[in-house]
Amino acid sequence: MTLNLNIAALRRRYLDGSLTPKQLVEDVDAAIGSEDVHHIWIRRLSHEEMLAYAMALEGKNPADYPLYGIPFAIKDNIDLAGISTTAACPDFAYVPEKSATVVQKLIDAGAIPVGKTNLDQFATGLVGVRSPYGAGRNAFDPDYISGGSSAGSAVAVALGLASFSLGTDTAGSGRVPAAFNNLVGHKPTCGLLSTSGVVPACRTLDCVSIFALTSDDAATVLEAAQGFDAADPYSRVVEKPSSILGSGFKFGVPKPEQLAFFGNPDTPQLFKDAVEHLRAIGGEEVEIDFQPFLDTARLLYEGPWVAERYAAIREFIENQPDAMFPVTRQIIGGAVKFSAADTFTALYRLKAMQRLTAGVWDDVDVIVTPTAGTIYRIEEVGADPVKTNSNLGYYTNFMNLLDLSAVAIPAGFQANGLPFGITLCAPAFNDARLLNLAARATAGQKRFGILEQQKTELTA
């Protein structure tokens, strides 16, 4: 396929008449093909199914639709009308009559769904290998993990099979796969995108996330996808910050002894380089005490929040426990040890941590961390599935507990050719600010992807 799937590039071609949605479907269908060596898809749409969406755009003015003819993939815990939702558990599968609110908003904006993607079962994991549909394989080296839980969604974009994709992010599932596949991964403010029609993981913490080739693309998708949804009890009215961050912004960086790279020889220097780059574009580095954030992160899996995962699928796990992936059953099944008193104790602890961490924002505009300190081979995760997954959540698990918005962006390559990424985070409803800063931080960045056309600046 010779198409550049960057949204801005496709939009220019639609507006000048050199491309039609029907032609786009032909190219995407050919690119996806019949083989799936990376285990991206649980259910790819057929040529005829994609074509129906393309033909619905025929005769309409591309200028009236912000995502006119833009192909996108959907994590298979998010509903697409008439297509099975599995959450990577075949016995759990059902066919929804209508699409999730966020999916329908994107389709109404002109986007064309191309398939449902593989994930860590019930969105429980950051590795992408906990699926009966096969272990998600990294777009740059298939011996390495794709990251999870939104494994297939990230790889689909990295391999040029979709312009953007939807994931979910409760503990890092929309950021870790972005870092491992050289993408932008935006974790919106919780409630900014509706979760109606999304299989819950932790309902009080879940959010729908966006994988894209650039920060500008992610911002375009976010604008089309967001909006209050009365059908979602956790939906929130948008609150916009007063201004975009200018030069002289202050960014917090953890103390050196609070950074963890888990023995990786390359990522410490890559992170230092990223910090230096933020200084070069006008940022002022401020050292912060990261320990309260780390203490908060431990609550997510070491505390009773895992019981939310149990509650989400309680009837299924109690009636069909053997239908679940073994590691997933072990993690979610462990929730039964927590009492109601444990839950309240943890809530009190969280409230204290929220108060403690709130003071940091008096001194900085954003916090910058690695997205993940290292990456693992698939066989390494198989040998120690819990510890490796825990290491990948070191910089991610606290985000939704503290009601933060975040964006993961590319930040160079390791000696083995695998990508590295950093994450920018800020309090809720700073999404536009973060994406704007992310665009500045990646401006002029050479994005070396898998496809030949990605070996140039994507804005070309």
Span 7-246+367-455 CATH architecture: Alpha-Beta Complex (3.90)
Of the candidates 99, 131, 146, 149, the residue annotated as catalytic is: 149
d(CA 260, CA 258): 6
pLDDT digit string (tens) for 51-69?
999 999 999 999 999 999 9
Is residue 153 flagged as an active site residue? Answer: no
Strand order in the sheet with 184-187: 41-44, 112-117, 71-75, 164-168, 208-212, 184-187, 404-413, 419-427, 366-370, 250-254, 284-288
User: Across 315-403, where does the E strand assignment appear?
Assistant: 366-370
| Chain length of the chain | 460
d(CA 450, CA 460): 17
Looking at the predicted structure, is the pLDDT value of residue 211 above 70? yes
d(CA 31, CA 144): 22
pLDDT digit string (tens) for 271-320?
999 999 999 999 999 999 999 999 999 999 888 999 999 999 999 999 99
* 387, HSE (Cβ side, Cα atoms, 13 Å): 5
Residue 147 pLDDT level (bands cut at 50, 70, 90): very high
pLDDT digit string (tens) for 87-118?
999 999 999 999 999 999 999 999 999 999 99
Residue 459 pLDDT level (bands cut at 50, 70, 90): very low
Q: Which residues contact 239 (CB under 8 A, 6 or more apart)?
A: 428, 429
What's the chain's Rg over C-alpha atoms? 20
Q: 251 by DSSP, 3-state: which?
A: strand
Is residue 149 flagged as an active site residue? Answer: yes
CB atoms within 10 A of CB 256: 9
Residue 2 pLDDT level (bands cut at 50, 70, 90): low
Structure tokens at 128: 């992408």
d(CA 443, CA 214): 10
d(CA 455, CA 414): 17
- Do residues 128 and 148 touch, judged by C-beta distance below 8 A? yes
Strand partners, 57: none
How high does pLDDT run on average in the chain? 94
Is residue 18 flagged as an active site residue? Answer: no
Helices (H), 37-168: 47-55, 101-108, 151-158
pLDDT digit string (tens) for 32-49?
999 999 999 999 999 999
Looking at the predicted structure, is the pLDDT value of residue 450 above 50? no
Question: What are phi and psi for residue 425, nearest 5 degrees?
Answer: -135, 155
Q: 408 by DSSP, 3-state: which?
A: strand
Mean pLDDT of 117-146: 98
Of the candidates 173, 194, 235, 405, the residue annotated as catalytic is: 173
The per-residue DSSP string of 358-372 comes to HGGGGT-SEEEEES-
The pLDDT, as a whole number, for residue 453 is 37
Strand partners, 169: none
- Do residues 72 and 111 touch, judged by C-beta distance below 8 A? yes
Looking at the predicted structure, is the pLDDT value of residue 422 above 80? yes
Would you state the torsion angle of the CA atoms of residues 428, 177, 294, 383, taken in this order, to the nearest 10 degrees? Answer: 160
- Do residues 302 and 318 touch, judged by C-beta distance below 8 A? no
Looking at the predicted structure, is the pLDDT value of residue 417 above 50? yes
Looking at the predicted structure, is the pLDDT value of residue 410 above 90? yes
Looking at the predicted structure, is the pLDDT value of residue 449 above 60? no
CB atoms within 10 A of CB 3: 19
